[in-house]
Amino acid sequence: MTDLHLPGERAGPARWRLVRWLASDGSRVRVGQPLAELRPAESDGAAIRMSALATGTLWHQVRRGEVLHVGQVIGLIE
């Protein structure tokens, strides 16, 4: 099983908001496929996309609109 952690950079925002999932819960995904769109929680900054790090079945661990912290697990691929 592969955990999908919210990535972060030292100078980047510490909190993000999940704008939308690009792949359905329980769907088959492949490496490099865009899975989620995220935006900084405290601003209207540019959205980023998070991609699959493995091939398998995606399981969402957070909901659309939820505020997330860098390093938090947002999904699982098994």
To which residue do tokens 């490496």 refer? 31
Domain edges within the chain = 2-77
pLDDT for res 6: 87
Strand positions, DSSP E, the chain: 2-5, 15-21, 28-29, 34-40, 48-51, 56-60, 67-69, 73-77
In angstroms, the CA 17 to CA 13 distance is 11
Asked if CATH classification 2.40.50.100 holds for the domain at 2-77, the reply, yes or no, is yes
Residue pLDDT tens, the chain, 78 long = 999 998 776 667 788 999 999 999 999 999 999 999 999 988 777 888 999 999 999 999 999 999 999 889 999 999
pLDDT for res 9: 65
Residue 44 makes CB contacts below 8 A (sequence gap 6+) with: none
